[in-house]
Structure 1
Amino acid sequence: MYVDKVYCNIVLNNSKPLFLLTFTGVTTKKEPVFSECLGHNLLVCEGSVLAVVVTLVISPAQFQVHLPFGAVCLRTLHDDERRTDLEMLTSDMQEYYKNTSTQLQMCLPAPGELKAHCEIKEGKLDCSRVRVIDVKGKEKLCQVQVFFIDFGYMEWVPEKQLHPLSIKFLHLPPQALECRLTGVEIPDEGWNPAAASHLSELTKNQVLVAYVTHVDRDHQRLGVILLDTSEDQDININETFLRKFQIK
């Protein structure tokens, strides 16, 4: 897939400012863009035990998790494996994009397109891979809704923070996974918004243990039992949720 760009130099008072002209069907420069990663699917096996952070809750049957230690089963995790593939990827992206000059984007990002999101945080360049969800506004006021494919959350960001994603950063599959709570069935009337809010409260700002009970490869989703192991007695979040939202 390619994005059309048109450049035009106009001489004005012995200077040559750059203007953008729009001509339907006219292309003078092309830039490759991507809509999917090239790496193999990240889905793990049934029976795996993972460390997860819940980052986005749509409903108990659809929420996103980030894997702080990668897709390595906690039963086999060693200290020397705690530096994940994602950490190495983001480090390489920071090195790459800090030496890449900011260029005027000649067209708006398209929904579904993969981009690199680069932002200065606490004096340091922070880079992530994102997928474009929506675009609003024009030119300098343009805002883009993006999904962080390795962390599992959405944000509106300024278009100027987005850069073409180099093919060298496509080898790793998205590191965020979609999950559902095992044993929690969707009610006939659908989920009450309070259900998502309650699950968010139970899981926010915690590294949890997820026991994978089911792998749905067709819909790229895991069935999990979430456990809070921060206290002396483990808390089964699935059971805690059901005590308040028991399906009749």
Structure 2
Amino acid sequence: MLVGLFVPCYIDQLYPKVGKDTLEVLEKVGCTVVFLQDPLCCGQPMANSGYEKMTRGYEKPFLKALQEVDYLVTPSASCSSHLTHHLLKPLVGKEELSRVRELTEFLHDVTGLEKLKASFPHKVGLHLSCHGLRGLNLGTPSELKVPHYSKIEEVLSTVDGLELVVPPKADECCGFGGSFAVSEAAVSVKMGSDKMKGMSMAGVEYVTATDMSCLMHLEGVFQAENSPMKIMHIAELLNSEEGGSGNQ
């Protein structure tokens, strides 16, 4: 299976290890991976701020990639959601859109979980990002009274030794929200602080999510409030072979 790996701009610039771990996880499950160098951004930051017209042309490298690979995979639920719900949706059919996948969604739905091998003997709290949960249907939002399911939890269950904690309000927004964190900084920080308190009460050592943007925001809150908790993207957990130190 030929997979095009799209590493979002903020991961490329600030958390490159997440991109590397994503690449290695995909290779471990048997994929041939092509790193997509042309796409620099999915266009979400501009669109969220009311400047969607500035993203004209951003779709071209993604359309080209879809002609050359079996799937386009990214370690970001928000970027995947923006690509499939906005940037590419007016231009391609459902079949092509279905080949754009967030990492855990791809592992769960396409490759299966049998080949995943990782070990991380720590207590990890799960933050369920808004785009992944409600945009990509990676799990059941708490506001819906339907049977529980979680693709993310199933994927993480393959990691030996990992004690996964899903605290109350795990699917409540962390406060990042892209440009919201800039325009409403005080509210954003309070939301992140509330999320931190819930994780702290659960006694977790690490907090993980499908979106490094959420984790980046929480990392800032943790550091500002001298919390010992650390962040770790799901790709890092899935590529861990022992303990790992997480992002500092």
For this structure pair, what is the TM-score category when the shorter chain's length is used for normalisation?
under 0.3
Rg: which structure is higher? 1
Q: Structure 2-normalised TM-score?
A: 0.26
Q: Structure 1-normalised TM-score?
A: 0.26
Which structure has the highest helix share of the two?
Answer: 2
Which structure has the highest strand share of the two?
Answer: 1
